[in-house]
């Protein structure tokens, strides 16, 4: 199944090119499905699928603060993952549980891939994500906001190692996500349709369009910053 899988990153807690404020982004993800309205029920911590990073925006922000010390070039990463809404509309029952499974399996496989193709990580990749299900003029656009830290931690000694995400890492995650979506939705082959591009429809507030960005560049420090 084709999917939108767009990476963005923040150079500091204040944000960066892809989103202006990390705290604001986390609150947005927790309390809204789109930029116009708060979700019914107030959007409590149970919205988050916690992969070690935290189950509420204050806990996630605190953990990002801790891990960011291990990466001089980035503070955190934010990824929007959205499967083809036409394909999802054909799924019997509620597709969300399988979508969550696909994301969790993708991150586990991505870590294994990184350990084989990159320097071994100091520790597991921590993450948290929320699934949004806003209604659009073409139907429901289920998607996930995935938050990744800037580093990993060795649980034995506390050593931090940067979690760099260059083009090869991003492309590997995208390929894994597509395959895991096929698996959980029992698709025998990739649908012969062009990849949908709904970046503007998804979340125009945070602005997380995937770009060719220099993930390893040292941050530019403005005078007086």
Instruction: DSSP for 147-183, please give it.
Output: EEESEEE-TTT--EEE----HHHHHHHHHHHHHHHHH
Answer yes or no: is 89 within a domain.
Answer: yes
Burial of residue 90, with CB atoms counted within 10 A of its CB: 0-12 exposed, 13-18 middle, 19 or more buried: exposed
pLDDT tens for residues 16-72?
777 889 999 999 999 987 776 666 655 666 799 999 999 999 999 999 999 999 999
What's the CA gap between 98 and 164, in Å, rounded?
28
Q: Which residues of 123-138 are buried (b: 16+ CB within 10 A; e: fewer)?
A: bebbbbbbbbbbeeee
* CATH number of domain containing 103: 3.30.930
What pLDDT score does 92 carry? 85
Dist. CA 51–CA 129, nearest whole Å = 8
Residue 86 CB coordination number (10 Å): 14
- Count other Cβ atoms within 10 Å, centred on residue 197: 12
Task: Tally the domains of the chain.
Answer: 1
3-state secondary structure 22-46: HHHHHHHHHHECCCCCECCCCCCHH
Residue 209 lies in a domain: no
Residue 216: inside a domain, yes or no?
Answer: no
- Assess if residue 174 is contained within a domain: yes
pLDDT (0 to 100) of residue 48 = 96
Give the range of the structural domain holding residue 135, as residue numbers without chain letter: 3-202
Nearest 10 degrees: Cα torsion 156, 159, 163, 169:
-50
Q: How far apart are CA 209 and CA 12, in angstroms?
A: 18
* Per-residue model confidence as pLDDT tens digits over 11-25: 999 987 778 899 999
Q: Is residue 178 part of a domain?
A: yes
Domain contains 214: no
Q: Do 5 and 173 touch, CB atoms closer than 8 A?
A: yes
83 within domain boundaries: yes
For residue 172 the two structure tokens come to: 């590997």
- 223 lies in some domain: no
pLDDT band (50, 70, 90) for residue 1:
confident
């Amino acid at each position: 199944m084709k999917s939108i899988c767009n990476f963005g990153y923040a150079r500091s807690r204040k944000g960066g090119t892809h989103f202006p404020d990390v705290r604001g982004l986390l609150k947005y993800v927790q309390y809204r499905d789109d930029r116009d309205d708060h979700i019914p029920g107030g959007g409590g911590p149970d919205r988050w699928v916690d992969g070690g990073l935290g189950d509420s925006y204050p806990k996630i922000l605190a953990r990002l603060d801790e891990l960011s010390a291990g990466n001089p070039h980035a503070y955190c990463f934010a990824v929007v993952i959205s499967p083809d809404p036409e394909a999802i509309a054909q799924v019997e029952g509620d597709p969300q549980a399988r979508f969550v499974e696909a994301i969790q399996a993708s991150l586990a496989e991505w870590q294994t891939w990184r350990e084989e193709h990159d320097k071994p990580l100091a520790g597991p990749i921590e993450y948290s994500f929320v699934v949004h299900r806003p209604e659009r003029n073409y139907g429901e656009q289920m998607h996930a906001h995935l938050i990744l830290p800037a580093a990993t931690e060795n649980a034995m000694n506390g050593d931090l190692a940067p979690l760099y995400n260059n083009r090869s890492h991003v492309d590997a995650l995208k390929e894994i996500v597509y395959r895991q979506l096929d698996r959980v939705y029992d698709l025998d082959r990739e649908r012969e349709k062009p990849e949908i591009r709904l970046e503007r429809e998804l979340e125009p507030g945070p602005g997380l369009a995937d770009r060719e960005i220099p993930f390893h560049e040292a941050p530019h420090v403005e005078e007086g910053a």
